[in-house]
């Protein structure tokens, strides 16, 4: 008989109807080994790209290669390959593309940050590029620990309310008078001694776990009742509680922490997850109306929000363009992107240091200047690949919690990239978010590597059922 796949655990191949005797030897597919081999090949390519980027940055900016930085980059490559080896044992069926994609993004970010260090005259162990290498090593170690500790993503569903409490505490920490720390007008950091951290980056992961667990429990009441209007079924007033609570939290972040981007990120995450859980577009319409209404009121009453909108609408106005603030950063970033053109000035050949905060908020403009439009499209394609694999993992899940969690974690990265790139290119008002995996900042880097680790664990759990093939 022809070979057939048995996807259910423990299923036995049969010959003819009613016959339970195998017609041939059972051969176990070696799909996990093939996936890990593909991952290894892509990782070697990724590490080669990162090494070449670091070398080109140094040759373009200084004309020589600093071997100490190359050695540090090589140590990171060893860590990534070590994570690959661990995946062969603890998550052999994990997605083979996620790790190579984030390795390239992380490596390009380190190379560009180091290039800006050279332009600013920063050197030694205190340079931002060296700190980013150290944070990357820590982030990889934490991601590996997540994969080792969480052997099945369904365990997280039990702790959904603990995740909610943790997320709220992380959001409130920057507002505490002792450890809360404001930078660039936003109250988003905590500072203890010489150590600073942005807890909101971890809060988005905790809230994604809570939203997934909560919506699995409550989606029936959120999706099956309500009145129809204009061809859509809108929820009852009594069911509006969750979205009003999340909207109030988002507005609190906007008002008290003075950060429009983080507020949009949290609220957008909940909107997408509630839409995936219920399939009702009315939730999205209601949510967008609430957020746009709140943002409009904030733009009329809060000076820092009004400044963002003024810089966005008319950045070249002399009253708005101000070297001390206003739209200066936005305009300099646009000039840098224009200077890059189609193929860029080459790594180490541009002037990305002219843009304020080019290592963090504006690293997309820095890369756009030196890699050009073609390089930016390649970077965006890597993000698209990462997000699409995450969505594929989510929608392939066999349990509702896994589906919602996979989609939520992937959408967090997608929305953050859109907010950052949209702000730099003047598609939307500028916000203070960082570009995932690329921008300088330890808290963002650690959080995004944890997201990648959770997606790897999800993909392995989904594919964990053995596939058997009956041979002749």
- Give mean pLDDT, residues 21-28: 44
* Lowest mean pLDDT, pick from 46-60, 76-90, 349-363: 349-363
Q: Is 168 exposed, middle or buried (0-12, 13-18, 19+ CB in 10 A)?
A: middle
The rounded distance, in Å, linking the Cα atoms of 195 and 199 is 12
- Tell me: the pLDDT tens digits for 391-417? 999 888 778 888 899 999 999 999 999
- Residue 113 belongs to a domain: no
- Residue 32 belongs to a domain: no
Domain that holds residue 325: 153-464
Q: Which residues of 18-33 are buried (b: 16+ CB within 10 A; e: fewer)?
A: eeeeeeeeeeeeeebe
- Residue 191 belongs to a domain: yes
CA dist 257 to 74, 174, 304, 419, Å?
Answer: 39, 8, 11, 18
pLDDT at 368 over 70: yes
Helix (H) or strand (E) holding 234: strand 232-234
Contact 346, 352 (CB under 8 A): no
- Residue 323 belongs to a domain: yes
- Give mean pLDDT, residues 363-385: 94
CA dist 278 to 215, 221, 281, Å?
Answer: 9, 9, 9
- Residue 385 belongs to a domain: yes
- Residue 280 belongs to a domain: yes
- Give mean pLDDT, residues 449-460: 94
Strand partners, 5: 469
pLDDT at 455 over 80: yes
- Give mean pLDDT, residues 75-90: 92
Contact 90, 345 (CB under 8 A): no
Domain count for the chain, please give it: 1
**How much of the chain exceeds pLDDT 70, in percent?**
83
- Residue 18 belongs to a domain: no
> Which pLDDT score, from 0 to 100, does residue 353 have?
86
Q: What is the mean pLDDT of the chain?
A: 81
> Which pLDDT score, from 0 to 100, does residue 470 have?
39
Contact 156, 405 (CB under 8 A): yes
Helix (H) or strand (E) holding 184: none
- Give mean pLDDT, residues 170-198: 76
**In the Cβ-directed half-sphere of 133, how many Cα atoms lie within 13 Å?**
22
**CB-based contacts of 233, cutoff 8 Å, min separation 6:** 226, 227, 280, 282
- Residue 381 belongs to a domain: yes
């Amino acid at each position: 008989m022809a070979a057939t796949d048995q996807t259910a655990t423990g299923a036995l191949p049969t010959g003819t109807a009613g016959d339970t005797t195998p017609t041939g030897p059972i051969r176990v597919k070696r799909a996990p080994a093939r996936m890990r081999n593909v991952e290894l090949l892509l990782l070697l390519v990724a590490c080669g790209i990162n090494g070449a980027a670091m070398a080109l940055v140094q040759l373009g900016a200084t004309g020589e290669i600093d071997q100490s930085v190359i050695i540090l980059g090589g140590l990171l490559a060893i860590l990534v390959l070590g994570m690959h080896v661990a995946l062969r044992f603890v998550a052999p069926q994990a997605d083979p593309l996620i790790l190579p994609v984030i390795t390239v993004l992380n490596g390009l970010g380190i190379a560009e940050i180091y290039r800006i260090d050279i332009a600013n005259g920063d050197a030694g162990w205190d340079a931002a590029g060296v700190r980013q290498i150290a944070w990357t090593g820590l982030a990889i170690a934490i991601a590996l620990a997540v994969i080792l500790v969480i052997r099945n993503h369904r365990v997280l569903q039990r702790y959904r309310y603990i995740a909610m409490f943790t997320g709220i505490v992380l959001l409130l920490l920057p507002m505490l008078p002792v450890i809360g720390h404001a930078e660039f007008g936003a109250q988003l950091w905590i500072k203890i001694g010489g150590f600073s951290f942005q807890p909101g980056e971890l809060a988005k992961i905790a809230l994604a776990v809570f939203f997934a667990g909560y919506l699995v429990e409550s989606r029936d009441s959120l999706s099956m009742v309500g009145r129809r209007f204009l061809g859509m079924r809108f929820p009852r007033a009594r069911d509006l509680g969750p979205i009003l609570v999340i909207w109030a939290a988002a507005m609190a972040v906007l008002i008290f922490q003075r950060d429009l981007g983080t507020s949009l990120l949290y609220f957008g995450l909940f909107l997408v997850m509630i839409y995936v859980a219920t399939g009702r577009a009315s939730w999205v319409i209601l949510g967008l109306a609430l957020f746009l209404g709140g943002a409009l009121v904030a733009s009329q009453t809060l000076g820092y929000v009004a400044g963002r909108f003024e810089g966005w609408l008319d950045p070249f106005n002399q009253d708005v363009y101000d070297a001390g603030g206003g739209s200066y950063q936005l305009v300099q970033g646009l000039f840098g992107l224009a200077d890059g053109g189609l193929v860029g000035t080459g790594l180490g050949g541009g002037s990305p240091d002219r843009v304020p905060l080019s290592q963090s908020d504006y690293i997309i403009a820095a890369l756009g200047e030196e890699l050009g439009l073609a390089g930016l499209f390649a970077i965006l394609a890597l993000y698209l690949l990462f997000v699409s694999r995450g969505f594929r993992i989510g929608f392939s899940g066999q349990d509702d919690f896994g589906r919602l969690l996979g989609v939520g974690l992937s959408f967090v990265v997608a929305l953050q990239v859109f907010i950052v790139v949209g702000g730099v290119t003047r598609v939307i008002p500028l916000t203070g978010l960082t570009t995932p995996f690329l921008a300088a900042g330890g808290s963002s880097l650690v959080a995004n590597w944890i997201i990648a680790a959770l997606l790897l664990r999800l993909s392995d759990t989904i594919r964990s059922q053995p596939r058997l093939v009956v041979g002749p």
